[in-house]
Amino acid sequence: MSTDYTTIRIPATGIITAWCASVQPNHLLKSLFLLSGYFNYTAMLFPFLLSVLRLIPVYYPTNLESLCARIVRVSIPLIYLYPLIFCFPLFPALGDCRQLLGTYPFGAIYFHWRGSWFNFRLAESLVVNSIFWLSSCSIANILLYRKLKELQVTRESIKIKKAERSLTLITLSMFPAYMTNLAMLIVFIISPTSSAYLLALRPYGSDCDFVIVPWVFYLTHPMFKRRKIVPADVQIANNTNTTL
């Protein structure tokens, strides 16, 4: 969220346009844009990791702790290394300021770059990754949903029903971030002018990913509900009254 603001939202206000016009293309502006692309990849990978970790308790409940710990230990470094595969062609590039297209007023700019290796463009790789990780996240959630349905058939449980409802809400709250980002990238490739209008929707998709998902998980999942503990004397009294 912070790199989106430094790369697109703040420059679009015109606050730093005069400064940007006074500097030559440099690596600082490129680094700001590079960080925005880098964290776009991590924002795709972490929801997929969450989806995989939710599969473990229902498919492998016996060795839950060790398996989850092993997955997290391996996945976290890989998530931070994976974007470098697509970002390294931008290392020799120089960042510059460009006028936002569309109906934005004069002086509204955004950061971009020139002179990457192999004439690499970040948008195409982001589109492919968005489609791939969105599909992977959907498959993981479908597998979990199907398993919960099987458990519900074998043993009727209010807790399983609540977990199933929680899963549905969490899955729905994950999709807006993928969809808004994917829509903006595809439109940018086809018509850069039209993509400027979608910039206003992108922060809301990011909010769904970074803010709404954990809140929905916390507010709806049964594991976070406090159990009511009945005092022993009250329980004994109830049992006595029932016997009488």
CA–CA separation, 33 vs 107, rounded Å? 19
233 part of a folded domain:
no
pLDDT attached to residue 158: 66
What CATH number did the domain enclosing 100 receive? 1.20.1070
Could you tell me if residue 234 is inside a domain? no
- CB atoms < 10 A from the CB of 32, how many? 18
Domain hosting 61: range is 2-223
pLDDT digits (tens, 9 = 90+) for 34-79: 888 898 888 888 888 888 888 888 888 888 888 889 999 999 999 9
What DSSP designation does 208 have?
A: I
Antiparallel, parallel or unpaired: β 94-99 and 109-114: antiparallel
Q: How many CA within 13 A on the CB side of residue 166?
A: 21
pLDDT tens, per residue, the chain with 244 residues: 788 778 877 888 888 899 988 988 888 888 888 888 898 888 888 888 888 888 888 888 888 888 889 999 999 999 999 999 988 888 888 988 888 877 777 888 888 888 888 778 888 888 889 889 888 988 888 888 888 777 766 655 666 667 667 777 777 777 777 777 778 778 877 877 777 777 767 767 677 767 777 788 788 766 676 665 555 554 555 555 444 4
Report the domain count for the chain. Answer: 1
Determine, yes or no, domain membership for 80.
yes
In a domain, 242, yes or no: no
Q: Is residue 16 part of a domain?
A: yes
Q: According to the model, what pLDDT value does residue 155 have?
A: 58
Q: What is the pLDDT of residue 8?
A: 78
Could you tell me if residue 232 is inside a domain? no
Query: What number of other Cβ atoms are within 10 A of residue 34's Cβ?
Result: 23
Residue 140 identity: A
Give the 3-state secondary structure of residue 97: strand
Q: Is residue 235 part of a domain?
A: no
**Domain for residue 239, yes or no?**
no
